[in-house]
Structure formats: C-alpha cells, structure tokens
Structure 1
Amino acid sequence: MAKTKTGRAIVLFPYHSSTRNRYYNSVVLSLERNNGKYSLPGGSVDPRKGDKNSLDAAVRELKEEFGLLTRKENAQLAYTFSGNVCEHDVYLVYAHGNLEADIHELRGIGFYNAGRHNAIPNEKLERHVKVLQADFRKRNRRIITPGPGFNTVLRELRRIPDERESKIQIPDWYFIPDVGGKPEIKPWTSQRKSFS
C-alpha cells in the first residue's frame, strides 16, 4: 500500500524565555486537536485544493492552520521522514504574518527548542518532529533522508536569535491565560504545566 505524501513546515521563531532571560531559535508546533500531539504544521497533498506537490501542501496548511504566509521559492527541503503510514517532506520556510491558530484543527501552539524548562515530553511529539533530535536520527537512519536544507536547520537551532529577526507576530494570549484570546485554544503556559 502506498504511503500518504505530506508536506510539513519548519517555521523558526525567536522564543524568549523569561526564566532564563534568553532567546532560543525555536520551531513553532501545532498541538493537534485530534490526537493531542505536537506536530509541524502541514498535511496531505490534496490536488483538489491545488496542491501539485508536498511543498504546495506545506504552504497551504501553514496558511490554513496558522494564518502565516511564505514564499515557496525561499523554502528548502530539510528532510524526508518515512513513517508507517505517511511520508513527510519537511521544508524550512521563512514565514511572515500574524499567527492565528485554526480552532477547528488545533488545540494550541507549542515550541520545540525553547529551553530545557519548556521541553515538550518526547511522547507528546510526533515522530516527524523527533527527527530534530540527534539520538532519534541515529536510531532511525534508514527512514530519514536529509535534504539540502538539513544542516541549515541544525545550525539555526543552535544559533541565538535576535528578536528583531522575526516576521511573525504571536498575540500574548497564546502564551498567557486570561489575556483575552479564544477558549478553544490552550495557552502555552497551561500546556507546560501538564508536562511535569
């Protein structure tokens, strides 16, 4: 049986840790409504929605799930992860806009690489996200194919960003409860409490 082809996006965001007073070059994740796991934004290639390939799917889903825009010509294939059911093409993209999570698909947003105290437990991460971890890559070499942008992603995750680099605006209520927002979306601080 053929695997479902998906396109996924790595979107970097300069996450500020108030406890460490430091910025981390983090990856924005979606907390999926259907299974409660953290995933890279993206989805299946759907020709009915105009997708010709996995990059089209990643760009379309980034807009649908987060309201963010990106230019396809600036995207780099970071890696392909061949899971049990899906084959995920994961692209490093440079997004911009005001983040607006789709309340029908997402329960919240999360951040990968936001410091140890913000670390999402492994069991809550989808496998295509775990590829960013060196030990997971080492154990699963046969199902991971690095792309031309893979080293760029690893380098960016180690780099300390400048907050002015971001072209993404994320409203405060995504981080802190009771600052307005939408009751369907769980704020990041509430999510982190469930990690311990």
Structure 2
Amino acid sequence: MKVLGLTGSIGMGKSAVAAMFARAGVPVFDADAEVRAMQGPGGELVSAIEAAFPGSTDAAGVRRETLGARVFGDREALAQLEAIVHPAVARRRQAFLAKHAGAPLVVFDVPLLFEKGGHETVDAVAVVSAPPETQRARVLARPGMTAERFAQVLAHQLPDGEKRARADHVIDTGCALAETERAVRALIDGLTASHAEE
C-alpha cells in the first residue's frame, strides 16, 4: 500500500480534490471529518474537552466557535487540546489502514500535514494549489469569513510556495474542474502503476 498525504492551504480546493480521489475508488481518511465526528453529539472526545475547557460543549457536542476562541492564539491551550485530539485521530487512522490493508493506494487528507510533521508518516505528498487571488476570493466568499480572520488562518499555515516546493506532486485547482480531475486520475494511475511494479 502507498499512502499519499493530501494537503493545501485554506481555500485551495483540497476537499474537492479529496472527493475526486474518493470517486476514483481511492480510500480517503479525512482527518477533519474524524475530529468533527468525535466532537459531535455523543462524540468520544466531548467529555475530555469539556473537562479541560469548561463551557465549551453542550448537547450538540463541542461548540467549535467557543472552543476556537479559547485556544486561538494561546499556545498552551492549543497544546492541551491537541493532546486530547491527536491520539484519538491516530487511533482512527490506524483502524482506517487496517480496514483498507488490501488497497494499493490510500489518501490521508490532512490540512496541517507539514506543520504538524505528518509528511514524515506518508510515502508521498500532494499539495493542492491555486493562484493567490483565486484562493482569496474563495475564502472571503465563505459565511462569516473576514479578511482579518483569513490573515490569521494563513499565519498558522506554511506559505503555499513552500508547500509546493516540498511536495512530491502539485495539483492545480486554478483551472477547470475537469482538468483538475484528469490530473488526479493521472496521479492515481502513476502511483498505482509504480506500486504494481514493486
């Protein structure tokens, strides 16, 4: 099995590209989706997060905006939250790998792959990228997003140019969706062909 790490800065189209891999039959582990499930109603992390950050949860699970406000810009609080979340995500990732042990290729969809050292645990990294003006337009079109918040998010992510320089593969989303999908299919073919030869 080859493990491809999929990453990209906010607004680059990573979710759309992950969906393209899934449509092509490649199992995709979506780290953010796993976290949301574990923080949702009855989620396994809710009680631990409430204990560490009182008032950050309710019947619907973790109140993401409330929790975000508590940890954003506070390194100690963020580290405390990550110590709760990361081991749980790692367990789910191991279960995912066991479930798909026979697949020639799987994708780990991880927003902060380089920032958190996850690139060291995969066989190759694909970075999803688009021109800065395309990225900005996409992000600012999101409900509740402001230029200030966008700048804060970018400050916590490696610059796109650095990600592209460190990537094994770059997937362009600043073009027609069909073109991006063709690039994804070509990448899958290339990775699975090299797997078959090994």
Query: TM-score, normalization: structure 1?
Result: 0.29
Please identify the structure whose Cα radius of gyration is greater.
Answer: 2
Q: Which has the higher strand share?
A: 1
Higher relative contact order (CA 8 A, sep 6+): 2
